[in-house]
Amino acid sequence: MLTPMSGSHLLTARRLRLAAVALLLAWFFVGELRRAVPIWIPFLVLAALELNFLVAGLRERGAPRRARGRPPQAGDIEDFGGEEWLEPVLVEVAGHDVWVPAEVEERPPREEEPPPRRFARYEGVAVLAVLAVVLFVLLPDRGWRGLDEAAQARTEALLSAEAGRIAGHAVSVRCDAEGEAVGVVQHADGIAEVGGTNALLTPAICFRLHRLAIDGDEGSFAQTARAIAVLAHEAWHLRGERDEGVVNCYAFQSGVELGQRLGLSEGTAARMMRQQLAENATFARQAPEYLVPAECRNGGRLDLNPSSERFP
Ligand SMILES: [Zn+2]
């Protein structure tokens, strides 16, 4: 067979293509790969394979028509036995489609295309879906790593200063871009030494705060509210408070001023912290130690500003 994309060639190309997609996905989910291999390499491999598919498809279009449409083509008739094959039917033998003369088998021809072409079409859709996920879901999460070192240092210095105001002493807030100490798998957005000087936040939290404080982008209400609450939470640990529920209660209150210092209006910052307090019970269902105590209310024992009518 001399078609430009013969069966085995097609199969090899499809396997390579699937391998390239797997490589691209692995790059995003395996930290060691990300550090060792620049992103353009898996992208380039995938792009080269897609180009190969495209060129092969174009060549096939210019080739003799025997490979197109529903079999049998003129070439197939010559190859496989002549005129009695003009009305063949397709039967399945051990998982393979086989054309046999109509006299032998009376079943009507199938309507579907032969499987390789059908699967190849789904593969194209799958590859596009993977690229879409990479571009619209995974790449935006790389926000913190997308910042240059000066911007990262500037943000960390700002967050350290703000946390230090709450903690009452100088502290160092770092954004753990390597994911070694703080990772999404731990369901923790940050950690801090109780009464100490060091705190770590996830890159996603840091990036949201960077966008707010440096770029003036308020972002999504829930994400920004969460990021402010997390920074305030770690700051209260640094101040010396250990109890997670009490820390949350204080953090939601400090978060109003913190939010304003990072660029929000007082009204927005207060609404965000009220939302965080309102969602606390739901969040604490999975982690009861984070539930704020009953005294966390306006005029309650944990009210940091009893003279104010607003809470938090
Ligand atoms: Zn905590």
pLDDT tens by residue, 260-289: 999 999 999 999 999 999 999 999 999 999
pLDDT of residue 93: 66
* 70 located within any domain: no
Distance 198 CA to ligand 1 centre (A): 13
Distance 144 CA to ligand 1 centre (A): 23
Ion ligand 1: protein residues whose beta carbon lies under 5 Å? 244
* 245 located within any domain: yes
Residue 113 confidence (pLDDT) above 60:
no
Percent of the chain's residues with pLDDT above 70: 70
- The Cα 14–Cα 157 span in angstroms is 49
Q: State whether 194 and 252 are in the same domain.
A: yes
Q: State whether 129 and 176 are in the same domain.
A: no
* 307 located within any domain: no
Distance 36 CA to ligand 1 centre (A): 33
Q: State whether 24 and 48 are in the same domain.
A: yes
Q: State whether 171 and 273 are in the same domain.
A: yes
Q: Using one digit for the tens of pLDDT, what is the confidence trace for 116-154?
A: 666 666 777 777 777 777 777 666 556 898 899 999 999
Q: Using one digit for the tens of pLDDT, what is the confidence trace for 22-51?
A: 777 777 776 667 666 767 777 777 777 777
> In b/e form, how buried is each residue of 152-177, taking b as 16+ CB within 10 angstroms?
beebbebbbebbbebbeeebbbbbbb
Distance 85 CA to ligand 1 centre (A): 77
Distance 302 CA to ligand 1 centre (A): 17
Distance 289 CA to ligand 1 centre (A): 9
DSSP for 73-85, please give it.
Answer: PHHHHHHHTSGGG
Distance 197 CA to ligand 1 centre (A): 15
Q: Binning pLDDT at 50, 70 and 90, where does residue 159 land?
A: very high
* 101 located within any domain: no
Distance 137 CA to ligand 1 centre (A): 28
Write out the residue range of the structural domain in which residue 14 sits.
1-64+119-141
Distance 20 CA to ligand 1 centre (A): 41
Distance 240 CA to ligand 1 centre (A): 11
Q: State whether 42 and 154 are in the same domain.
A: no
Q: State whether 176 and 134 are in the same domain.
A: no
Distance 30 CA to ligand 1 centre (A): 27
Residue 184 confidence (pLDDT) above 50:
no
Q: State whether 129 and 172 are in the same domain.
A: no
Distance 228 CA to ligand 1 centre (A): 14
The more confidently predicted of residues 84 and 154 is 154
Residues 195, 243 contacting (CB under 8 angstroms): no
pLDDT of residue 269: 98
Q: Could you give the number of structural domains in the chain?
A: 2
